[in-house]
Each structure stands twice: as C-alpha cells, then as structure tokens.
C-alpha cells in the first residue's frame, strides 16, 4: 500500500507507558476552503490519542496445525472511547495467505479477528472524515502470537498483547471538525476565548449514536495495556491547547489595536529658538 505524505515528529518510547510517536497531519487547501464552505480555525491544534495493536489467544486443545491462535487487531481510543467522530474507516492489510487479505472496517469499533499460526506485519491505514484531513495515515504492527518467555506450555487463558500509543495532531482544523469534537472525551481540544462561536452541525453519518465504538465494555478491554502516563499526557496536551487559545485571543486583540488610529506624538518640552 502506498505511503502517505505526512509531517511526522517521532519520539522513541521504550515501554507501553510512553508515547512512541506524535504525528502531525495537515490538510491540503482545497476549493471548499477557498470558498469558505469549510472554514478553518487558525493557530490551534486538535490532538487525538490512539492505541493500535493485537491480542492473541492460544487455542490449546482446539488448536490445529494451521490455526493455533485466535487474534484480534484494532485501533482504539487511548481511553477506550469511540473514534467514529474522527475516523471514517480503517483498512487492515493481512498476510497474502489469508482469503481477502485487504479488510475494510467502515464503522467503529475498528477491529477484526482471525485465526492462524504465523506472525507477520499487519498494515493499518486510517482514513479520516473529509472535514478532518484529506490524507490517510499508514501504520504497521507486528502480530505476536507467542510470549517472550517460552518456558513451559503456552497459556490458553492469558493472551499475548502488543500495543502502541500515538498522538495524532491536526493543526488549523476545520470549523466543522472542531465543533463536532469540542466536547468529545477521546479528543483534546483547546478552550477558545470568550465570545468565540462555531456553527451548530449534525454529526457525521457513520458516527455511532449507540456507542458501539466505545470499547470501555469491550470483551477484550481487561487485556488492554494500561498506558499509565496517558492521563498525564492528555493534561499536558490540554494545557498546551489552552496556551494556544490565549495566543489566538492576544493576536485578535492586537489586530484590533493595529486597526485603531494612532495618537499624535507629543511635542518635545525643549524647543530651539
């Protein structure tokens, strides 16, 4: 699958408690932006923390030579909330040995389950709603079926879990996107200055009203890794957004001052005769 041109700032993280990457996606200016039908909120950023990974269960007595494990690959909110307000669909690229190896999941939760015996790299392409970003994001994840400690028989009750934490940042978001997620629990948005207003908009078509994409009560949620620093990172991101909102306010005040007539320079108290 082709790579997407993105602006990426990589921060290495050696454990599940630290973010691996901060990925900044910028939207290409199109005709709708130029005509003002999808205005953008300048000088702010929206942050969407996500987790992607796999959970694999050994089938034990039910295992066959070709199907020893059942596994699930997924993209979820870092705090397990529904991502349907941001993500339109996800494409999972499996090993060519699978029937129909390119799988498209068009509604949350963005996941699929399969059975197999081998480990391989899964391509994960995330596509966003048109008012979010016109670029898609390509990620790659190695399916792991066997634990690091291979001493003794593999447990059928405790799965092998591999997850990665990322923060996707959208600078200068559209007003439609900003309005839709400004109170969303999975999205970090700035507090805007008093008097700032956004249009009242209907939710996007495939946003799940019943919360089916909310994975808090997901049957696998007990195995999701706990990113212990995720809440602190969200607080830091929120604080950064508040600073940006204050900058926006100051810039508007300065623009008003610049537009006002300037007073005449007072005459010097010393005059030559």
Residue 243's pLDDT band, with cuts at 50, 70 and 90, is confident
Residue 252 lies in a domain: no
Residue 162 lies in a domain: yes
**Residue 55, token pair as written in the block:** 């959970």
**Residue 164, token pair as written in the block:** 């990665």
Write the CATH number for 186.
2.60.40.1970
Query: Residues 122, 92: contact at Cβ < 8 Å?
Result: yes
Residue 264's pLDDT band, with cuts at 50, 70 and 90, is low
CB count in 10 Å sphere of residue 241: 19
CB count in 10 Å sphere of residue 237: 21
Q: How many Å apart are CA 151 and CA 169, to the nearest integer?
A: 42
Q: What domain range is 162 assigned to?
A: 38-191
Strand order in the sheet with 21-24: 7-10, 21-24, 160-171, 45-58, 69-77, 110-116
Count of structural domains within the chain: 1
Predicted confidence (pLDDT) per residue in 80-92, tens digit? 889 999 999 999 9
- Which residue did the predictor score with more confidence, 193 or 190? 190
Residue 221 lies in a domain: no
Give strand ranges (E) for the chain: 7-10, 21-24, 45-58, 69-77, 87-93, 102-105, 110-116, 121-128, 137-142, 160-171
Residue 7's pLDDT band, with cuts at 50, 70 and 90, is very low
Residue 173's pLDDT band, with cuts at 50, 70 and 90, is very high
Residue 113 lies in a domain: yes
Residue 175 lies in a domain: yes
Residue 4 lies in a domain: no
Residue 135 lies in a domain: yes
**Residue 93, token pair as written in the block:** 């690229």
**Residue 15, token pair as written in the block:** 């454990």
Predicted confidence (pLDDT) per residue in 44-87, tens digit? 899 999 999 999 999 998 889 899 999 999 999 988 889 999 99
Residue 108 lies in a domain: yes
**Residue 259, token pair as written in the block:** 């537009």
């Amino acid at each position: 699958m082709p790579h997407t041109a993105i602006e990426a700032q990589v921060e290495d993280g050696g454990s599940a408690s630290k973010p691996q990457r901060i990925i900044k996606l910028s939207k290409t200016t199109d005709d709708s932006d130029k005509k003002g039908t999808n205005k953008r909120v300048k000088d702010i950023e929206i942050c969407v923390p996500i987790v992607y990974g796999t959970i694999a269960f050994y089938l034990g007595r039910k295992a066959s030579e070709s199907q020893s494990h059942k596994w699930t690959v997924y993209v979820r909110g870092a705090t397990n909330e529904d991502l349907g307000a941001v993500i339109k669909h996800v494409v999972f690229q499996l090993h060519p040995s699978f029937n129909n190896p390119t799988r498209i999941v068009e509604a949350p939760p963005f996941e699929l389950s399969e059975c197999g015996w081998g480990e391989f790299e899964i391509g994960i392409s995330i596509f966003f709603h048109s008012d979010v970003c016109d670029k898609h994001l390509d990620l790659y994840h190695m399916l792991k079926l066997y634990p690091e400690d291979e001493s003794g028989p593999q447990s059928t009750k405790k799965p092998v879990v591999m997850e990665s934490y990322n923060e996707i940042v959208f600078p200068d978001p559209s007003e439609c996107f900003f309005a839709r997620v400004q109170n969303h629990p999975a999205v970090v948005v700035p507090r805007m200055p008093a008097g700032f207003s956004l249009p009242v908009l209907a939710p996007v078509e495939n946003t799940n009203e019943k919360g089916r994409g909310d994975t808090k009560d997901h049957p696998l949620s007990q195995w999701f890794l706990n990113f212990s620093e995720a809440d602190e990172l969200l607080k830091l991101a929120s604080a950064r957004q508040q600073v940006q909102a204050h900058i926006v306010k100051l810039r508007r005040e300065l623009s008003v001052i610049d537009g006002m007539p300037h007073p005449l320079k007072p005459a010097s108290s010393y005059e030559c005769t």
